[in-house]
Amino acid sequence: MTLSVLRQTAEAMVKPGQGILAMDESTPTVGKRLKAVDVDNTEENRVAYRTILLGTPGLGDYISGAILYDETIRQSTSDGEPFPELMKRQGIMPGIKVDTGAKELALNAGEKVTEGLDGLRERLEEYVGFGAKFCKWRAVITIAEDKPSRACIEANAHALARYAALCQEAGLVPIVEPEVLINGAHTIETSYEVTVETQRQVFEQLYRQGVQFEGMILKPSMVISGTDCPQRAGVEQVAEETLRCLQQTVPAAVPGVAFLSGGQSDEEATQHLNTMNQMAARLSLPWQLTFSYARALQNQVLETWRGDAAKAEQASQALLHRAKLNSLASLGEYAPDMEREAA
């Protein structure tokens, strides 16, 4: 696979006005989401829910790709159409989560390192056969007293880089996701310091592993106060600090930055993205700034559907409406009063 093809795919993933739907929850995690709306975690219900997400008419106008879980890329709709084929018909690129989860980091209580490198080359070859165009690997960095440790940041940065190199070898665009968790009482200043250090280490390791920056996408957390911080920073400050962090850490060759929502409310995540893009336009930044949201796109879908087949169309409209709002935010054209419009 040539770099030009990887670059073409990466640029298509962050095409202006489009973002990425993250729907790669593991079976236990999606079970928690379903349980919250009183739906049993059966394969039939998982297929029904994923059919709503991927089968929403017009979703491809706002969503360039969707990150799938291993089960999903192998599944078909109740009508027998493989999900990757449904996505192709919708104009949505299939992506796949390839890490096997964050595990406790040895000798560093309360910190984690993401695993999944064993056998990854062979798994990537299989996913290419299913039609995957890109992959995702998530690392988690915790802010607390004496955390994160240098060992935690370096271990996760190295794993992300090895994963990314294997993806590009297989002709797949890697989404590199170093998530600095929002949990905690930390200030936005602490968030900035930790995020800068994390992203610097990540790009150093990516360079050392020979990863081509033009053929990857960064999926970072926003620089934001902890959820328990007594005085949380406002939208403007979050946007300013996040952009400043990108300027300090991200090479200009990277085609785009697709932010995760990371515990923010639906509206908050959209507002932050919109304000960043309005500021970025004035700064002439080199990257496309867009979204790769999970719950901030899916929350209202689940609440509307709640396992009722008669509500499937209404749930689809809720997803389409949320995707459109984030599409506008990725262009800096969102306004809060749009939230009141009917989905």
Q: What is the model's pLDDT at position 158?
A: 98
Taking only the tens place, the pLDDT of each residue in 287-308 is 999 999 999 999 999 999 999 9
Q: What is the model's pLDDT at position 341?
A: 67
The number of angstroms, rounded, from the C-alpha of 82 to the middle of its chain's C-alpha atoms is 23
Q: Report, as an integer, the average pLDDT of 111-135.
A: 98
- Residue 331 half-sphere exposure toward CB, CA atoms < 13 A: 13
Other Cβ atoms within 10 Å of 244 Cβ, number: 13
- What's the mean per-residue pLDDT of the chain? 96
Other Cβ atoms within 10 Å of 297 Cβ, number: 29
**Among candidate residues 79, 12, 29, 91, the one with its CA nearest the CA of residue 54:** 91
pLDDT grade for 1, boundaries at 50, 70 and 90: low
State the catalytic residues: 177, 219
Token digits of residue 39: 């739906």
In the predicted model, is pLDDT for residue 176 greater than 50?
yes
Token digits of residue 220: 């970072």
- Residue 18 half-sphere exposure toward CB, CA atoms < 13 A: 19
Q: What is the model's pLDDT at position 2?
A: 83
The SS3 call for residue 51 is helix
In the predicted model, is pLDDT for residue 224 greater than 80?
yes
In the predicted model, is pLDDT for residue 343 greater than 50?
no
- Could you say which DSSP state residue 102 is in? E
Residues whose CB is less than 8 angstroms from the CB of residue 282 and which lie 6 or more positions away in sequence, other chains included: none
Upstream peptide bond of 148 is cis (omega within 30 degrees of 0): yes
Taking only the tens place, the pLDDT of each residue in 41-84 is 999 999 999 999 999 999 999 999 999 999 999 999 989 999 99
Asked if 113 contacts 102 with a C-beta cutoff of 8 angstroms, the reply is yes
Asked if 132 contacts 82 with a C-beta cutoff of 8 angstroms, the reply is no
Q: What is the model's pLDDT at position 162?
A: 98
* DSSP secondary structure, 224-241, as one string: ---TT-SS---HHHHHHH
Q: How far apart are CA 257 and CA 252, in angstroms?
A: 11
Q: Is the dihedral angle over the CA atoms 152, 154, 155, 161 positive or is it negative? A: positive
Phi, psi of 94 (to 5 degrees): -80, 135
Strand partners, 102: 114
In the predicted model, is pLDDT for residue 156 greater than 80?
yes
| Better-scored residue on pLDDT, 159 or 1 | 159
Q: How far apart are CA 19 and CA 93, in angstroms?
A: 11
The pTM assigned to this predicted structure is: 0.96
Token digits of residue 165: 């190199």
What is the percent of the chain with per-residue pLDDT over 90, rounded to a whole number? 95
Domains of the chain: 3-340 (3.20.20.70)
Q: Report, as an integer, the average pLDDT of 326-333.
A: 98
Q: Report, as an integer, the average pLDDT of 146-162.
A: 97
Distances (CA, A) of 93 to 96, 143, 321: 10, 34, 20
